[in-house]
Structure 1
């Protein structure tokens, strides 16, 4: 009986550990209608599912994200639809919301894309007690294109309006090299 309880506890703990997944990613910035180079591959922590992705720090709660992408009109495709899109090289397109942070040093998403190639401002690195102003959360409506895939989505292309000229000329792509979100 003890072995069964111990096994159950281990399985429960392992199942809960999937809330925060370390995976390999690369990013590319999309500025003024032009894609930049892909960043070097590095490991980072992500949380979520197919339709909602959080970029979080190590040992952070998912509510402490640096950016969060939510797809509004998402319906999970079946294996037949996945094969069909892959064969025809058709992207999946969704509307969604992107939440991210800005700071005094990087007051816009564009300034972050130019500096880092992705949205990099993290609220947990700003210490108000040391005179730093707190980060401010921004919310942006986006169009998300997921490139065709066989096993799980690898590429999320996120496009949104530049606040100055109201054109879809900003965004970023994230390439998941490992399966991060338990698809």
Structure 2
């Protein structure tokens, strides 16, 4: 298999004690796969739209789950709220999303896909389905189900770890960053939803 050859083509350094074999580190491997899957690195996505990765992820969430507010998009995507708000504002300016008529019922502005945004959303979501098929080629349905279950566990464990680290910083007198405070909120929200 190619991945095995890639692993054996790199030797662990003798310049450090107990060199970390990154190939065996699950978080590192997930990050590597994630780097390959970044939407705006995909030449075909660049033919569909000039939106950057964050704007695409926000547009997909608005099209799939809208009307939705920025906090829910941030929670769903795990993007920082500032980036989500910037992406929403950019998409509003481009006319790809619009403020929902239902926004009076919510503390924060709800957004939904606009008529102008629907064709772009459809092109991107159609391609995302093909892309998913290509990424999962040769992986059985049973393996896919196991992968989805494992990814959920990894996400929950990571959320718990990051929130715990941010909480520890706060308890030691430090000031968690906005992103770290958001991780604590996300963890609490997940805990509340699972009760």
Do both proteins adopt the same fold according to a TM-score greater than 0.5, normalized to the shorter chain?
no
Give the structure with the larger strand fraction.
1
Higher relative contact order (CA 8 A, sep 6+): 1
When the two structures are superposed, what TM-score results if normalisation uses the length of structure 2?
Answer: 0.21
Give the structure with the larger helix fraction.
2
When the two structures are superposed, what TM-score results if normalisation uses the length of structure 1?
Answer: 0.22
